[in-house]
């Protein structure tokens, strides 16, 4: 039996420190592979709580792993803490108001994600000490989820080699145990080099790298008709060759993000996109070099763990909210587009999720990607959503950032922590559940082996540490 009162008491004792670390990470707003201060802060809290901490885990400068206990089973709790470019926003505001022009912000709530998982790991650690429960709980501070594929590099470094079960969560606008597949993805830069020349006096002597980028994008647009409907191609021109129209651009660069339901489908699409890039170079008389940046595997759900998490969610229950919190949520909703408002109306939902959504044993599909997928290929992985924002709030928006330090968000991260903590404790107490989850995991893989999309020679990006005052 789980002592829920003990979990609740521990969470209450740790509430202030956990919400403070969440707010600090929100303020730092460090992007992929630059989360130095966020990782340091998490590592310091783990050390203060009696965890053995490995910094720069797996050779990654901003990865941190904290372990407590010894022996089997090993339960991993995954946390993230990277922000997004261009998402700066004032906390608590009900209008778009950047703190810093073109600054960073936590538009996906990873400050909450990292802190909520930290709360869960701390609660399990103290529960183990007080109850004599044996095993190992391990917090994984995972960098660069946003397009960086940090967990894929952590998997490749063998950091999950002895893990039995992994648990995680994500901030959202509802409470539920997750049972969906997600898309595999990769990101690749295509860099073109040409010859500069005077665009009026001697254009015939120039070879435009920007022309090559544009032709590549046109080719990719035509490719969309001839790929599976579930696949996606996104691109961003990251270097247009300068700002002078009277100069033939000697260099230009485009970043492609490719998604598909399976890793082998992503690889096949990447080969076709690469052929288009080579064709664009041939048409323009330029040279092309591709540089692989990151990749994430498709997500393998686990109904055994999903059912466990749902049962614990039902036991813990959803949060309740004050009238001030409800009024703030309504003020945020008033800023949504008409299309977003119609979605809210169709859901017939309250301004804040005050119930747990029923668990579906039928596996769904979400057209998004996460590097949790790489972990889910290695060990059985369970995931939940917990409400941290007004109903209808879209991820990667200023509204999400604005709510990231609110009491609503704090309640959500603590709720997620309780659900994951009680689930981890149940797994530590019940080895049969772990066996069932592992058996289902093997059945879902069907004998297929995990092979990362990241080329063996590609290492995690190395970035320079900078000082940020908050």
pLDDT at 347: 85
Please choose, from the candidates 345, 341, 212, 190, the residue with its C-alpha nearest in 3D space to the C-alpha of residue 273.
190
C-beta neighbour count of 234 within 10 angstroms: 12
- Rounded to 5 degrees, what are φ and ψ at 314? -65, -35
Cα separations in angstroms, 394 against 112, 146, 159, 319? 16, 16, 32, 20
Banded model confidence at residue 464, pLDDT cuts 50, 70, 90: low
Whether 470 shows a pLDDT value over 80: the answer reads no
Per the structure block, which two tokens stand in for 223? 């490719």
Question: What is the enclosing helix (H) or strand (E) of 422?
Answer: helix 407-429
Query: Domains in the chain, please, with CATH?
Result: 4-183+298-445 (3.40.630.10), 184-295 (3.30.70.360)
The structure tokens listed for 129 are 């000490």
Mean pLDDT of the chain: 96
3-state secondary structure of 361: coil
* pLDDT tens digits along 5-63: 999 999 999 999 999 999 999 999 999 999 999 999 999 999 999 999 999 999 999 99
Note the pLDDT of residue 147. Answer: 86
Task: Give residues with Cβ within 8 angstroms of 16, minimum separation 6.
Answer: none
In this prediction, residues 338-367 reach a mean pLDDT of: 92
Considering the chain, what percentage of its residues have pLDDT values greater than 90?
Answer: 94
- For 466, the token pair is 């900078």
| pLDDT at residue 460, as a whole number | 85
Q: Give pLDDT, residue 465.
A: 57
Statement: residue 388 has pLDDT above 70: yes
Give 468's pLDDT tier (boundaries 50, 70, 90). very low
The tokens of 434 are what?
């772990």
Pairing assessment for the beta strands 165-172 and 364-366 based on DSSP bridges: unpaired
- Which residues is 247 bridged to in the sheet? 198
Has residue 469 got a pLDDT over 50? Answer: no
Check pLDDT > 60 for residue 394: yes
Minimal CA–CA distance to 32: which of 153, 145, 141? 145
pLDDT in tens, 244-268: 999 999 999 999 999 999 999 999 9
Q: Does the pLDDT value for residue 350 go beyond 80? A: yes
Work out the average pLDDT over 193-203. Answer: 97
73: cis peptide before it, omega within 30°?
yes
pLDDT for the residue numbered 463? 67
How far apart (Å, rounded) are the C-alpha atoms in residues 289 and 353?
Answer: 48
Residue with tokens 């080699």: 161
Q: Please check whether residue 61 is in contact with residue 150, taking contact to mean a CB–CB distance below 8 angstroms.
A: no
Summarize pLDDT for 300-328 with one digit per residue, the tens: 999 999 999 999 999 999 999 999 999 99
Residue labelled with tokens 């008389």: 285
């Amino acid at each position: 039996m789980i002592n829920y009162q003990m979990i609740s008491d521990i969470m209450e004792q740790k509430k202030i420190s956990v919400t403070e670390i969440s707010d600090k990470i929100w303020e730092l707003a460090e992007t992929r592979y630059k989360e130095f201060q966020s990782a340091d802060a998490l590592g310091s809290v783990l050390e203060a709580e009696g965890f053995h901490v490995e910094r720069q885990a797996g050779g990654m400068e901003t990865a941190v792993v904290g372990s407590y206990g010894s022996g089997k089973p090993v339960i991993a709790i995954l946390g993230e803490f990277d922000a997004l470019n261009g998402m700066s926003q004032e906390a608590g505001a009900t209008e778009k108001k950047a703190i810093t022009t073109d600054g960073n912000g936590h538009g996906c709530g990873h400050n909450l994600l990292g802190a909520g998982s930290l709360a869960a790991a701390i609660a399990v650690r103290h529960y183990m000490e007080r109850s004599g429960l044996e095993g190992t709980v391990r917090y994984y501070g995972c960098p660069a989820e946003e397009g960086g594929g940090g967990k894929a590099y952590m998997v490749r470094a063998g950091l999950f080699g002895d893990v039995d079960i992994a648990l995680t969560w994500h901030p959202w606008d509802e409470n539920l145990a997750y049972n969906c597949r997600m898309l595999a993805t990769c990101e690749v830069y295509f860099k073109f080099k040409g010859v500069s020349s005077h665009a009026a006096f001697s254009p015939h002597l120039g070879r435009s790298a920007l022309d090559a980028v544009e032709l590549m994008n046109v080719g990719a647009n035509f490719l969309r008709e001839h790929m599976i409907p579930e696949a996606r191609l996104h691109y961003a021109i990251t270097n247009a060759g300068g700002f002078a129209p009277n100069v033939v651009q000697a260099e230009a660069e485009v970043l492609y993000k490719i998604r598909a339901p399976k890793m082998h489908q992503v690889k096949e699409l990447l080969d076709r996109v690469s052929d288009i890039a080579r064709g664009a170079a041939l048409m323009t008389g330029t040279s092309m070099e591709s540089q692989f940046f990151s990749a994430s595997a498709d997500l393998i759900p686990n109904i055994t763990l999903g059912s466990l998490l749902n049962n614990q969610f039902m036991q813990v229950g959803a949060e309740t909210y004050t009238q001030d919190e409800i009024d703030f949520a309504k003020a945020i909703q008033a800023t949504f587009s008409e299309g977003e408002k119609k979605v809210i109306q169709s859901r017939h939902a309250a301004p804040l999720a005050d119930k747990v959504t029923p668990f579906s044993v039928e596996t769904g599909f979400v057209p998004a990607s996460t590097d949790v997928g790489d972990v889910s290929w290695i060990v059985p992985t369970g995931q939940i959503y917990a409400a941290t924002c007004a109903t209808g709030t879209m991820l990667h928006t200023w509204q999400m950032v604005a709510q990231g330090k609110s009491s609503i968000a704090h309640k959500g991260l603590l709720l997620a922590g309780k659900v994951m903590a009680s689930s981890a404790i149940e797994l530590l107490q019940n080895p049969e559940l772990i066996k069932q989850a592992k058996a289902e995991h093997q059945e879902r893989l069907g004998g297929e082996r995990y092979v990362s999309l990241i080329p063996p020679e590609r290492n995690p990006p190395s970035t320079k540490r900078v000082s940020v005052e908050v």
